[in-house]
Every structure is written in C-alpha cells, then in structure tokens.
Amino acid sequence: MPKPVPVKKTLNALDLVAIAVELNATLSGGRLIRVYRLGDSHYFKIRASDVAYLIANPRRISRTWRIPQGLSPSPLRRFIEDCVINRFEANLDRVMSIDLNCGRLTIELIPPFNMVFTVDGKVKWLLHEYRGKDREVKVGSTYIEPPRRFLDPRFFDNLLKLIEDSGLSDEALAKGLGLGTDWAREVCTRSGCSDPVLVWGSIRGILEVLHLGRLKPVIYASPSYVSPIPLSSIKGEFKEVESFNKAVDDYFTSIEVERVAEERVKGIEDEIARLESSIKELEDTVGGYLREAENLRRRGELIMGRLYEFSELHEALLRAYMADKDSFKAKVKGIEYGGIKVIDYDPLRKTVKVTVNNNEVELTLGESPGETAAKYFEEAKRLEKKAKAAEAKLTELRGKVNELRSRVNEATEETRAAVRFVASREWFERFRWFITSGGSPVLAGKDAGQNEAIVKRYMNPWDLFLHADVQGGPVTVIKVTRGQEVKQQDLIEAAQYAAAYSKAWKLGANSIDVYYVKGEQVSKKAPSGEYLSKGGFMIYGQRGWVRGVELIISVGLRIDGDVIRLVSAPPTAMGSLANYYITLKPGNSERSEVAGRIRELFIKRYPEARQIPVDHIIEHVPGPSVVIESNEGNPITWDTVKGIFNKVAG
C-alpha cells in the first residue's frame, strides 16, 4: 500500500527551479526599493514593470501578493536597496541565489534557514552566523554554499551509479539524486521504478518541464499540497492557478498568517495558563473551606442536638479529672454515656475526643459543650466567609480568562484580516480619481508634481479643467470623449471634488467658487518676463464658474475579491464606487482622529478593513473634519472602472 502524501510544509529543490523560472520572466531587471522583516519572513519590495513583493522564509521563496501589517525595516536594506536584479538562480538544492548589480544574495532553505549577502564572494551581511563540519559562515569570510550530498539528477550516469550503490527505489532517488520524497514518489509513480531507462525518462521529462517553464500550477485540497504541475502520485481534487508563484503564495499565506497569529497571542495564552493554574488552586482551596465548614457545623449540630447528654458527660469527665489528673486518660477511655463514647484524650490541649452516631466530636474540659458548639459554628461561618471571598476571586479570575480568550480570538482574527492583498495599480490610481454619477472619469492631483503630470500627459484639449478659486488646490480634470458635452451634474460633482481638496477646507470654509475651462485654454507658457512655478498654469480666454460649491466629500471602501481599495468622491457619485462610505464636512477634529474613526466604522461593517492602515485613510481626508453620515453603496465592477478610464486615456 503506498504511503500517504504528507502535507507540504516547505518548498523542495525542484519547486525552487520552477519559482526561479517565473521570477526571471517577471522580475529580472527590477530594482529593489525596500527590504522589510516580520517574524521569520523577509519582504522585498521590487519595482519592475509594476511594484511587486518577494518573500523569503524557512518555508518558501516566492512572490507574494499579501502584505501583513507590522513590517519593520531589515538591516539588509542598507546593502541591497536600490540594487538591480540581474537573475534568479536555483541550483537543484534548496538554495536560491539572486544575482544583483551590487552583489549576490543567497537564500538557504536548508535548516537552519539563512540569508547571506556577498560581494565578490565575501560575506557582507547574513541573517545568522553558522559553523558546521563542512563550512563556517560569518561576516568577512569567503562564502561557501551548503555542500551537496547527492548526485546531479541531470545525468544518466549518476542514476546508474545510484542504482549500483543503493538500488532503485523512491527512497534512493529522494536521497541519492536530491529529488526529495515528493518528486521521487512522482518519478516512481510515472515510471514504475524498475526500469532505469523509464526512470531516467521520467526524471528528464520533469526537469525539462520545470526548466522551460511549461508549468500548470495546482493546489490540492486533500492532501493539502501545492505543485508546479499536476502530479500522478496525488489523486485528490485540485484547482489550477495562473502561476506557480501565485499558487505558492495562496498555499503558504494561510500557514504564515497562523504562525504570526500564534506568536502574537503566545503571551496572552501564557497568561491564560497562569490564571487557570491559579483558578485550579483556588477551586481546591474553596472546596477545602466548604468541606471543613460543613464538618464543623455538623459537629456543632450534634452537640446542640444532644446537649443534655453532652453536658452530663462533660460534668462526669471534669469530676474524674479533678479526682486524678495522672490516671485520667486511662480511666476515661472507653467510657460511654447515652450513646456518646470517649475514644481519646489530649493532655496538652485538654480535649476529649468522643464519637456519636459514627461522628467524632472534641470537647474541651475548660468550656461547656454549649460553648464548644458555638465555637464550631463560629469557625464554620469564618471558613464559609473565606470560601465566599475566594469564590468572588474565582469569578474575577474566570472573567479575566474569558476576556483574555476573547483577546486571543480578536488578535487572531485581526492578524488574519490585517494581511493586505497587493494588486497591480492602474495608471489612474496614482492620482485622486472618481467617476461622476453620469459616468465621466475625473482625475485630480495630490501635489504640484501630479498637477503638472495631469496637464502635460493626461489632459486633452477637449477635456474640462477645474480649479477652486483659491491658491493651493488640485488640478481637476473631467476626461471627455471628443465632441461630448459635460452634464451639469457631472460638472457640479467635479467642482465639489476640486473644492474639497483645496486649501479652502483647511481654512474652515463651507463653500467656495470653482472655475472651469477647456484643456486647450490651459498653458504652461508664462507671459513675457514672468515665471510659472511647478504646478502653476496660465488660463487664457473666458472662464466658466460654479458658484458657492459646498465643501463635502465621501471616503469609501470598495471590495474587489481579495483586494480592498479606498476611494473618495462627492456623495452623489460615491454610491456606484464603494460598498460602504463615510461623508465628511469641514470640522474641528484633526485628520488622524477622523481617519481613525472612519477605520473603526469600516471594520465594524467589514472586518477585513483591518488591513487598511490609518495613514492610507488620512490621505483621503482633506483637513480637520466632522463625520456627518455613513451609507451603503452598490459599486460597479473594477473592470468597469478600468474600462471607463482607459476609454478616454490621454
């Protein structure tokens, strides 16, 4: 019976070959612009044809489209930031190297996981120093890669040598040719693992597919497994994924998020364990108090129930004691009166132990049985009071445990939700943008540089240019199809957008005039003898005006599958752009405070909004504001948004 396929916990050597082939096709020539670290993972931000992220940790090296919150700069950044990637290399071992124009970064998935940056073979930085039988890795030393303890699987002679030394089996292929358990199993499944020629053909076929990038990446549900090609050795259901890097990212992200969540809640769980230990001890103490109180109360009730007989016996015992103290113990032991039998005497405490109805009771010679019963009752009350206080403490501790468990659940959910899906940005997303209720795309600059770019690159002569009648505000452009007339409502909404992000909001104004002209009336050419600063323009000809434009803006959240986006727009246009949005007017609360409130409202409605940093929301808040309302929306698809902008791209 074949062995079950284990859940994949890390990429193997041949997986890295497939990863490297895809990375070379997409990221070679890209520039490393940031290096971050979180837990045991490093994140590399790369600017290639678009911004991309690479992740490296003990489980994998691959692209990632999911970025968690809490990243911090890595010390590696000072060595490789701004370097250009020449090539990714996988050496048929669990090692990948990134050849850079400034050096070489080698990532070893072989335990213990390590990353080493070298220049001309000398170690300049490493994740941790290593000293073993075969090599020593430290700053300043010549870097030596992990020794290869297997034969190169690309050569038929090596297969024959392996068969001569170890026979032909999946275990021999896994260790002797470095295929690893998973690929060795696949080779044997395909070839039957008996004829060397068929085995060699299977190995060569797999290597050829991987090296040439003829991949059909899949993720299996049961067993949980990811592969660059469908496997004959796994019979379970699978889903196809567009790239192996994407498949690896989908597969390992959930594992890594759970790992980060576990690390985040470990301190809380340790505190829960400590409190639960205290609760157990306190429960035992409470039980002891109550049992002893019940015993004492029962003794007191026995005495009071037969007080006459106890009093008569007590008097007889006193007389005997006074008559002969030295022989008292011997004389009274075994005396029985009215069913009450003396069984012992303690001369130090001067107490007589008796039994009645199979219950033991102590009488004190120096006090009456009634007084002894009263003491029993008093001590029982004291213990019951202590038990009650302990119960109150137990309730408090249990409440703390429940609160901590809630925090564990919340922290886990927050960690899962705080993983941000990184989508490729469309050209218009670098600017402020929205689509009017009439379907016209609108662009606005975030700063003087963007104002300049919009006018020079994206504005056509027939587009409509708008600007608030105040120094300090965004260039706002309604993109228009040639010959199209702009609807009045669209003009009003674009004017509101221009007004909202102008200096007027920060000044606390409630309204402002906005002028508009055609694109052909806007020029960067200054009159003779004058100078236009960056972001400044000359307007020629007659201006149109939208008077008394209300300062109001909505900040919305739109969810497109795994991608969450923020968008801002006038309230009348926002319903078709966002799933949920918050409307603002100028107020007294600072931008950061308002952004925090918006984030809370987003999370309350859509928990996955936890992944949005407050700083990203702040960018959409024009200035000191007040929240006036929140609304649900019914957004058009992202493909529709892209289509509207691309149709009229400048």
Please report the DSSP string for 154-192 in residue order.
Answer: T-HHHHHHHHHHH-SSHHHHHHHSS-HHHHHHHHHHHH-
Let me know whether 136 and 160 are in one domain.
no
Q: What is the pLDDT of residue 291?
A: 93
Question: Does 517 fall in a domain?
Answer: yes
Q: What is the pLDDT of residue 453?
A: 92
State which of 142, 166, 201 marks the end of a domain: 142
Round to whole Å and give the CA distance between 115 and 112.
10
Identify the CATH number of the domain in which residue 30 sits: 2.30.310.10
Burial class (CB in 10 A: 0-12, 13-18, 19+), 282: middle
Q: What is the mean pLDDT of residues 182-204?
A: 94
Q: What is the pLDDT of residue 262?
A: 73
Q: What is the mean pLDDT of residues 157-180?
A: 92
Q: Name the 3-class secondary structure at 212.
A: coil
Question: Do the bridges between strand 136-137 and strand 218-220 make them parallel or antiparallel, or are there none, so unpaired?
Answer: unpaired
Listed in sequence order, the residues at least 6 apart from 593 whose beta carbon sits closer than 8 Å to its beta carbon are none
Q: Name the 3-class secondary structure at 621.
A: coil
State which of 142, 168, 183 marks the end of a domain: 142
Percentage of the chain beyond pLDDT 90 is: 74
Round to whole Å and give the CA distance between 172 and 162.
7
| pLDDT of residue 619 exceeding 60 | yes
Question: Does 453 fall in a domain?
Answer: yes
Question: Does 460 fall in a domain?
Answer: yes
Q: What is the mean pLDDT of residues 583-593?
A: 96
For 352, which DSSP code? E
Let me know whether 136 and 163 are in one domain.
no
Q: What is the mean pLDDT of residues 428-448?
A: 95
Question: Does 296 fall in a domain?
Answer: no
Contact of 348 with 365, CB cutoff 8 Å: no
Among 151-160, 291-300, 337-346, 406-415, the range scoring the smallest mean pLDDT is: 406-415
- pLDDT tier for residue 380 given thresholds of 50, 70 and 90: very high
Let me know whether 536 and 635 are in one domain.
yes
Let me know whether 524 and 570 are in one domain.
yes
| pLDDT of residue 477 exceeding 80 | yes
CA 308 vs CA 28, 370, 377, 514: distances in Å:
104, 10, 18, 106
Domain of residue 461, residue span: 432-647
| pLDDT of residue 433 exceeding 50 | yes
Give this prediction's pTM. Answer: 0.63
Taken as a whole, the chain contains a residue count of: 650
Let me know whether 451 and 498 are in one domain.
yes
Let me know whether 171 and 25 are in one domain.
no
Q: What is the pLDDT of residue 417?
A: 61
Q: Which of 49, 48, 104 is nearest to 76 (CA)?
A: 104
Contact of 493 with 570, CB cutoff 8 Å: yes
Measured in whole angstroms, the distance separating CA 574 from the mean position of its chain's CA atoms is 30
Question: Does 463 fall in a domain?
Answer: yes
| pLDDT of residue 3 exceeding 90 | no
Q: pLDDT tens digit string along 254-300?
A: 777 777 677 777 888 888 889 999 999 999 999 999 999 999 999 99
Let me know whether 125 and 170 are in one domain.
no
Let me know whether 627 and 577 are in one domain.
yes
Q: What is the mean pLDDT of residues 562-587?
A: 96
Average confidence score pLDDT of the chain: 91
Contact of 81 with 3, CB cutoff 8 Å: no
Q: What is the pLDDT of residue 1?
A: 43
Contact of 9 with 59, CB cutoff 8 Å: yes
Let me know whether 468 and 591 are in one domain.
yes
Q: If you search the block for the tokens 């940093």, which residue do you land on?
A: 613
Let me know whether 174 and 61 are in one domain.
no
For 466, the enclosing helix (H) or strand (E) is strand 464-468
Structural domain tally of the chain? 3
Q: pLDDT tens digit string along 300-317?
A: 999 999 999 999 999 999
Q: What is the mean pLDDT of residues 201-207?
A: 95
Q: What is the pLDDT of residue 403?
A: 87
| pLDDT of residue 186 exceeding 60 | yes
Sheet (strand 95-100) strand order: 85-90, 95-100, 103-108, 114-119, 122-126
State which of 188, 217, 242 marks the end of a domain: 242
Round to whole Å and give the CA distance between 18 and 208.
10
Question: Does 341 fall in a domain?
Answer: no
Round to whole Å and give the CA distance between 466 and 519.
9
Let me know whether 85 and 226 are in one domain.
no
Q: What is the mean pLDDT of residues 58-83?
A: 92
Give helix then strand counts, H and E, for the chain. 17, 33
Question: Does 312 fall in a domain?
Answer: no
Question: Does 98 fall in a domain?
Answer: yes
Round to whole Å and give the CA distance between 352 and 339.
15
Q: What is the mean pLDDT of residues 114-119?
A: 97
Let me know whether 218 and 136 are in one domain.
no
| pLDDT of residue 548 exceeding 80 | yes
The CA-CA-CA angle for residues 65, 67, 68, to 5°, reads 150
Contact of 226 with 219, CB cutoff 8 Å: yes
